[in-house]
Amino acid sequence: MRKFFLGVIFCLCASVAAATEVTIAALGDSLTQGYGLPADQGFVPQLGVWLADHEGDSGAISGVEVALINAGVSGDTTAGGAARAAWTLTPEVDALIVALGGNDMLRGLDPGVARANLEAILQAAQQAGVAVLLVGMQAPGNYGPAYKAEFDAIYPDLAAQYGALYAESFFAGLEGLRDDPAALGHYMQTDGIHPNAKGVTRIVAALGPKVLDLVARAQGG
């Protein structure tokens, strides 16, 4: 009888432990993958450290073990992300960070196509019952005002349509430096496109609170 009760207690403890685990997949391109950085300094590993350091900042994440999956592929477009969405959303995934569109924009691809691809990802997540944080991108002005307006509108529109959490910009942590190229250079790699490790730290600090909200939503909070 004593062994029976010990077995019941063990099973209950195991159930509680399982209930406190949240797995987040970060679906993105080189910015997510960690291009040009040591393995422990990319976006995903730095986000993991930030979440651990800020566990007490949110009741929803207190005592929760968050596992992060790096589903970033360097050079990927929204089309690539849409093609990978189904097998990224494995049964253990509870939440999804979507940070795609930068390469579509850099190549001047049709914003309508990017919208359709991102919508396909959100639909796949919805069907899987997975909470989503959609991270926005902004097009530069050199493609013209019409292109910029159409591209920039994709993210808030889709977030509202699908009830996803929304972060306005992946680079929000560096926005205050945009008008000072010399200062911004301290946080960028030599290509001027990808952040260095210090830049990623600022990016993670800005996006981190949104990820805490994502954890809460994944838990049904």
pLDDT digit string (tens) for 50-99?
999 887 665 556 678 899 999 999 999 999 999 999 999 999 999 999 99
Catalytic residue among 76, 94, 194, 213: 194
Rg (CA), the chain: 19
What percent of the chain shows pLDDT beyond 70?
87
Catalytic residue among 30, 94, 104, 213: 30
Lowest-confidence range among 12-21, 33-42, 198-207, 210-219?
Answer: 12-21
Query: Residue 15 above 50 pLDDT?
Result: no
Torsional class of 129: left (φ above 0), alpha (ψ -120 to 50), beta (otherwise): left
Per-residue b/e over 125-162, b at no fewer than 16 CB within 10 Å? beebebbbbbbbbbbeeeeeeebbebbbebbeebbeeb
How many CB atoms are located within 10 Å of the residue 218 CB? Answer: 23
Q: What pLDDT is stored for residue 61 in this prediction? A: 62
pLDDT digits (tens, 9 = 90+) for 138-184: 998 899 999 999 999 999 999 999 999 999 999 999 987 766 778 88
**pLDDT band at residue 18, thresholds of 50, 70 and 90?**
very low
Give me the pLDDT at residue 58, please: 52
Which two structure tokens, joined as six digits, stand for 41? 């300094």
Local confidence band at 19 (pLDDT 50, 70, 90 cut-offs): very low
Average pLDDT over residues 22-41: 97
Residue 176: predicted pLDDT: 76
| Residue whose C-alpha is closest to residue 125's, from 96, 166, 151 | 96
Estimate the crossing angle of helix 145-162 against helix 111-128, to 10 degrees. Answer: 10
159 vs 192 pLDDT, higher one: 159
Domains of the chain: 29-218 (3.40.50.1110)
Match 């005002």 to its residue by tokens: 145
pLDDT category, 8, cuts 50, 70, 90? very low
Average the pLDDT over 189-215 and give the result.
96
pTM: 0.88
**What's the mean pLDDT in 117-143?**
96
Confidence of residue 221 (pLDDT cuts 50, 70, 90): low
Residue 76 among the catalytic residues = no
- pLDDT tens by residue, 43-56: 999 999 999 988 76
Nearest CA among 206, 209, 189 for reference residue 34: 189
Phi and psi for 72 in degrees, rounded to 5? -90, 135
Instruction: Give the model's confidence band at 12: pLDDT under 50 very low, under 70 low, under 90 confident, else very high.
Output: very low
User: SS3 of 32, please?
Assistant: helix
Q: Say what the pLDDT of residue 72 is.
A: 97
54 is catalytic: no
